[in-house]
A and B are shown apart, each in its own frame.
Chain A
């Protein structure tokens, strides 16, 4: 179920014309009542046509603002962004012609029913009324929404509304599909169904840029990922690259009921251990080979007369990579 598409190596830079999406030193600062709030602070991205790219980061990291700028709905404070070669600030209409966007909230047209939402989207994009209706029917069938044809958007379940929004974004055959937190708030079954839909789309050649704060979603779907926090890209590359660059360590965290015993420091010399971090009563060990390590940490404690109050082990994953990159636990 969760097998990923084959990973393409895309280390070489993608030029602006070939790139589906490209940003250079993109900034956005909001002016609020409490002063300026920097949301995006210099993001550089380069996404090729046909790629499934993920922006991964906790809530408030600047992902939605970035997508807002790429879809021309948020005006960048500085820097540049192009979509399909068009500058988002200078040629927003050219950009809008080529993109589809699935926003985080339900932004469907509540005055229209489900079918009409798709029909009019097609007409906004130049289809005749007849072609637009045909395309709407086609998409509703593909996405199993035919029985909700007359449904009002606000009466639909979260999963149905999301699928209808994906249909709406696809009506005009966009070159790039943006999805902002597409599975946030959906139940697990609906989420996995939606993943299948997105995989199908990508295998059909659709370029997709998705934001998510779910690590497993990025791992399951994306060929390449940029990890974002506080408006900056911390690391980017394939999921495997990210794990490798972060040391691909297993991270073991142990809390003692007293100061960390001195014996723990000796683990630095143990084979397979990359790093040992001691803060107060807690120790965090980063290791390539972690077998038996947790047991050793408990043993060191008991021989020093110190008990263990909490212990956790994080296998190599984007989550452990995030921890290695930022020194912080991943907060969703």
Chain B
């Protein structure tokens, strides 16, 4: 450690001098914390969103460009998945890849920083001492990760829209903008709430395991690569995947972006998104508070 030179006479901090007459209010503190998240996101923009984009871009590149070009190999799978979609495999993929990017980004955006903040030197103390109740701090974390997820989804969208071989383009038609916005926003918030809940529930050592045993099955069985309705042939699996929240985000996006592809009814995905967001936020507020306060 280097010796720090503080001349004995130099610091004359007088705390009482010129105290600002500003009173912190909940909205001010909340917005200041969001501003902090935006600053951090701006600094890490390339690294963060390269991570979000890599998987879906590679996926559309292989399935909508390489495989259709070389023909045969993947054609059977693709036509099976897109059966009844009235379009190409890429039409099935667009809502699925946007949806899974949102869910994944939301969870990672909340869990990665949390691992640092709750464990290494407990830097969460920095935020926990701000004039905001700890449950509200949980809401702020959910909102911030939700915003990141939304940005991630919006960045993935043009990529999966434009990367394809000729004639393999997706048929996108926004039938209902309100549905699209509601699904995007609630899908982001529900996923970040789920991330905060899981992140505060699990031991830090188990987070690696969570990625393998929770996130991977979630995306493989999340109706990303096929519409839920197409799973009718495997009835047990069709029912089993209903526990996966990602299914509702993807089906909601399918309804909004590719209405011609068979999708779940609006009441089903909307009610799960609303109830799921509320319940997971409530649960995460509780588990987060328990982890922050001792």
Residue contact A111 to B35, C-beta cutoff 8 Å:
no
Between A71, A125, A205, the greatest number of chain B beta carbons within 10 A of the residue's beta carbon is seen for A125
User: Which 6 A-B pairs give the minimum distances between C-beta atoms?
Assistant: A126-B24, A123-B32, A159-B4, A204-B14, A124-B130, A193-B6
Minimum Cβ distance to chain B for residue A316 (Å): 28
| Interface band, chain B | 35 or more
| Residue pair B125, A103 in contact (C-beta under 8 Å) | yes
Contact A126 B29 (CB under 8 A): yes
- A residues adjacent to B (C-beta < 8 A): 30, 68, 71-75, 92-93, 96-97, 99, 101, 103, 105-112, 116-117, 120-121, 123-129, 131, 135, 139, 142-144, 157-160, 163, 168, 170, 172-174, 177, 186-187, 189-190, 193-194, 196-197, 200-201, 204-206
Return chain B residues, CB-CB under 8 Å to A93. Answer: 131-133
A107 touches B123 (CB 8 A): yes
User: Could you show 27 A-B contacts with beta carbons less than 8 Å apart?
Assistant: A73-B125, A73-B294, A103-B122, A106-B121, A107-B123, A109-B123, A110-B116, A111-B43, A111-B113, A117-B126, A124-B32, A124-B131, A125-B131, A139-B13, A143-B6, A143-B11, A144-B10, A157-B1, A159-B2, A172-B20, A172-B24, A173-B16, A174-B15, A177-B15, A200-B11, A204-B12, A206-B16
Q: Which residues on A sit within 8 Å (CB–CB) of B19? A: 173
Q: Choose one: B28, B35, B128, B292; the contact of A120 (CB below 8 Å).
A: B35
Contact status of A131 and B122, CB under 8 A, knowing A120-B35, A142-B13, A200-B13:
no
Contact of A196 with B8 in the complex, beta carbons under 8 Å: yes
What residues of chain B lie closer than 8 Å to A173, measured between beta carbons? Answer: 15-16, 19-20
CA distance A126 to B20 in the complex (A): 9
- Complex alpha-carbon distance, A101 and B127, angstroms: 12
| Contact status of A105 and B122, CB under 8 A, knowing A159-B4, A197-B6 | yes
Please indicate the chain B residues that have their CB under 8 angstroms from the CB of A101 in the complex.
Answer: 125, 129
Report if A201-B13 is in contact (Cβ < 8 Å); known contacts: A120-B36, A157-B4, A158-B1.
Answer: yes
* B33 interface residue per 8 A CB criterion: yes
Complex partner residue of B22 from A30, A128, A174, CB under 8 angstroms: A128
Contact of A143 among B13, B32, B40, B129 (CB under 8 A): B13
Given contacts A30-B294, A96-B130, A108-B126, contact A125 B3 (CB under 8 A): no
- CB neighbors of A among B87-146 (8 A): 113, 116, 121-123, 125-134
Partner of A96, one of B131, B292, B293: B131
Expressed in whole angstroms, the Cα–Cα distance for A187 and B1 within the complex equals 8
Structural contact, B32 and A107, CB atoms closer than 8 A: no
Contacts A103-B122, A112-B40, A200-B13 supplied; 5 other A-B pairs, CB < 8 Å = A92-B134, A109-B127, A110-B123, A123-B28, A139-B13
Q: Given A142-B13, A200-B12, check contact A68 B294 (CB 8 Å).
A: yes
With A92-B133, A108-B126, A201-B15 given, is the CB distance from A189 to B39 under 8 Å? no
**Is B206 in contact with chain A by the CB < 8 A criterion?**
no
Q: Which residues of A contact B293 (CB under 8 A)?
A: 72-75
B205 CB-CB contact with A under 8 Å: no
Chain B residues with a Cβ under 8 A of chain A:
1-8, 10-17, 19-20, 22-25, 28-29, 32-33, 35-36, 39-40, 43, 113, 116, 121-123, 125-134, 292-294
Contact B16 A125 (CB under 8 A): no
Across-interface contacts of B294 in A (CB, < 8 A): 30, 68, 73-75
Contacts of A143 in B (CB 8 A): 6, 11, 13
Q: Which residue of A lies closest to B10 (CB)?
A: A144
Q: Are B123 and A97 in contact (CB under 8 A)?
A: no
From B11, B17, B24, B133, give the contact of A124 (CB < 8 A).
B24
Smallest Cβ distance from A157 to chain B, in angstroms? 5
Complex Cα–Cα for A91 and B42 (A)? 35
User: Which B residues are CB-close (under 8 A) to A142?
Assistant: 10-13
B6 touches A105 (CB 8 A): no
CB-defined contacts of B14 to chain A, threshold 8 Å:
204-205
B13 / chain A contacts, CB cutoff of 8 Å: 139, 142-143, 170, 197, 200-201, 204
A125 to B126, CA, bound (A): 12
A103 to B133, CA, bound (A): 19
Given contacts A123-B32, A159-B4, contact A107 B122 (CB under 8 A): yes
Please give the distance in Å from A235's CB to the nearest CB on chain B: 28
Contact between B15 and A124 (Cβ–Cβ < 8 Å)? no
Whether the pair B130, A157 counts as a contact (CB closer than 8 A) is no
Question: Using Cβ atoms and an 8 Å threshold, which residues of chain A touch B20?
Answer: 126-127, 131, 135, 172-173
Residue in chain A with minimal CB distance to B41: A111
